[in-house]
Amino acid sequence: MDAVGLITEYNPFHNGHQYHLRIAQQLTNAQVVVAVMSGNFTQRGEPAILDKWTRAKLALENGVDLVVELPVFDAVQPGQRFATGALRLLNDLKVKQVVFGAEHPEWNFKKLGSFEKKFRHDDFTDYRETFATQFNEALVEKTGISLTDPNDILAYSYFKACQEHDWAINLIPIKRQGKGYHDQTLGLYLASASGIRTAIKTGRSIKNVVPKVTAQALAKLTIIPSWQVLYPILRNHLIQSPVGELQNIYQMTEGLEYRLKEAAQRELDFQSFLHAAKTKRYTFARLLRLCLYTTLEITTEQMTNNQPYHHVLAFNDRGREYLHQVKKQLQYPLITKVDAEMKDHLLALDYRAGKLYQNFTAVEQDVKHAPLIDLSSKKH
C-alpha cells in the first residue's frame, strides 16, 4: 500500500481541509492517507480550539486513515523545525509523497533553499527587526521573491528539510483555496481556520464552512480554549520564579525574562501582557511560544534532547493495515497507549502539555488513552 502524507493542525477541520485531502489522493493515487497532526497546542503556541482526540476523530470521519501526533517539541516551533519534525515522522513511516497548500505553488522552493546557504545568521544583527524579516529582505533583494505568507514559509521549510536530511520524499505543493491564512471573513463555502475560530468566539455561524461533524463538535464547547484562561498560571509563574530560573527556559534569550516578568507584574489581562512584552524584535508567535515554554517550565535541554516517536491517535482499517505493513521497519517507537513510565520520560513534554490543556476539558489526554479506531470504513 502506498501512502500520501499530510502535515496538519486541523484547528478546526474545515472545508478547505476536505479539498486538500481529496486533491492529495487524486494527485498521488495513494491507497492510504497519513496525517501528522499537532497535539493540543499549535505552532504559534496557542491552545487548539478542540483537543487532539476530538480533532483526530474529525480527521478520521472526513477521510484520513491514520493520525499520528506531532510531539510538542516539534509542533510548537518556528517553521523550519516544525517542518523537519513532521517530515521526519512521515519519512520513518515510509511515506514517499507529501501534499501541502501554498499561496505560490509555482515557485521553485527547492532553488530558494540554495540562496539561504549564502547567508549566515550573523549577517543579520539589526536587533530592531526579527531575523525572519531581515532574511526576507535579503531574499527579495537576491530573488525578487518575498516569503511572508505562512503557507509559503512552510513550503520553503519542507523543501529545505528534505535537502538537509536527504529524504526521498516527493513534495507536492498545491494552490491554497479560499481565504488567506489571516483572513477573518467567512466565505460561502471556504474560510481560514483563523476566521472560523474568530467567528466561534463572536457567536457567528460557521455551518457553511465546516463539515457537519466539525460543527457538532464545536457546538459542544463549554470553554473556548485561550491564553486568557491560562494567563493566571503563566502570570503566577513569571512573578514567583527567580530570574535565574527563568533564564533556563527554552528560547528565553536577550533579556526576555526581565521583560516578561515586568509585564506580568503590571498586567492583569493576557492581551495587555502580550502587548506590553511585544517589540519589533519579537513576533507575537515567538512570544506565544515562549509563554507555553514558560508555563510548562520547558528547559533548553529538555526541548533539544528528545527522541522522536509515533504516538498513534486514530486509525481505520486501512490505517491499521498500513501500520502493520511498516511497523517492523520503523526507527522510532510506535506508541498506541501511554503508560506511567512514558509520561515521565519519553512523552514527558506532551504529558505536561496535555495536563495544561485539561483546564479546558475533563478528558484525560494521554495516560491509558488508546487510539480511536474505526474499522467500518470502506475503500477509497
Q: Last residue of some domain: 268, 285, 303?
A: 303
Phi, psi of 38 (to 5 degrees): -60, 150
- Report the sign of the C-alpha dihedral through residues 330, 355, 211, 42, in that order: negative
Are both 193 and 317 inside the same structural domain? yes
What percent of the chain clears pLDDT 90, i.e. is strictly above it?
A: 80
Are both 201 and 53 inside the same structural domain? yes
pLDDT at 290 over 60: yes
* Residue 7 assigned ligand-binding role: yes
* Residue 208 assigned ligand-binding role: no
* Residue 17 assigned ligand-binding role: yes
CB 9 within 8 A of CB 205: no
pLDDT of residue 125: 60
Weakest-pLDDT range from 131-135, 233-237, 296-300: 131-135
* Residue 13 assigned ligand-binding role: yes
Average pLDDT over residues 134-155: 84
pLDDT of residue 316: 97
* Residue 61 assigned ligand-binding role: no
- Considering the domain boundaries, does residue 120 fall inside one? no
- Considering the domain boundaries, does residue 137 fall inside one? no
The count of domains in the chain is: 2
Q: Which of 280, 258, 276, 279 is nearest to 267 (CA)?
A: 276
* Residue 151 assigned ligand-binding role: yes
* Separation in Å, CA 344 to CA 135, 195, 283, 360: 39, 37, 32, 22
* Residue 79 assigned ligand-binding role: no
Q: Last residue of some domain: 303, 335, 355?
A: 303
Are both 236 and 362 inside the same structural domain? no
* Residue 8 assigned ligand-binding role: yes
Average pLDDT over residues 363-368: 94
pLDDT of residue 380: 46
Which domain, by its residues, includes 41? 3-104+149-223+306-374
pLDDT of residue 137: 81
Report the chain's mean pLDDT, rounded to a whole number: 92
Are both 211 and 162 inside the same structural domain? yes
- Considering the domain boundaries, does residue 233 fall inside one? yes
Weakest-pLDDT range from 28-42, 183-197, 320-334: 183-197
Are both 293 and 217 inside the same structural domain? no
Q: How far is CA 295 from the centre of its chain?
A: 18
- Residue 253 per-residue DSSP state: -
pLDDT band at 180 (very low <50, low <70, confident <90, very high): low
pLDDT at 377 over 60: no
- Considering the domain boundaries, does residue 138 fall inside one? no
* Residue 271 assigned ligand-binding role: no
Are both 8 and 90 inside the same structural domain? yes
Are both 209 and 237 inside the same structural domain? no
| CATH (domain of 168) | 3.40.50.620
pLDDT of residue 129: 65
Average pLDDT over residues 265-288: 95
- Considering the domain boundaries, does residue 113 fall inside one? no
pLDDT tens profile 212-271: 999 999 999 999 999 999 999 999 999 999 999 999 999 999 999 999 999 999 999 999
Are both 67 and 197 inside the same structural domain? yes
- Considering the domain boundaries, does residue 142 fall inside one? no
CA distance linking residue 186 with residue 209, whole number of Å? 7
Q: How far is CA 213 from the centre of its chain?
A: 22
* Residue 12 assigned ligand-binding role: yes
* Residue 302 assigned ligand-binding role: no
CA distance linking residue 55 with residue 213, whole number of Å? 10
Are both 335 and 210 inside the same structural domain? yes
CA distance linking residue 180 with residue 190, whole number of Å? 10
Are both 334 and 282 inside the same structural domain? no
pLDDT at 142 over 80: no
- Considering the domain boundaries, does residue 111 fall inside one? no
What percent of the chain clears pLDDT 70, i.e. is strictly above it?
A: 92
pLDDT band at 127 (very low <50, low <70, confident <90, very high): low
Are both 15 and 77 inside the same structural domain? yes
pLDDT of residue 379: 46
pLDDT band at 119 (very low <50, low <70, confident <90, very high): low
pLDDT band at 134 (very low <50, low <70, confident <90, very high): confident
Q: Last residue of some domain: 303, 327, 349?
A: 303
Are both 17 and 93 inside the same structural domain? yes
Weakest-pLDDT range from 7-16, 124-133, 161-170, 281-290: 124-133
CA distance linking residue 256 with residue 89, whole number of Å? 32
**All cell numbers assigned to 154:** 512552510
- Considering the domain boundaries, does residue 140 fall inside one? no
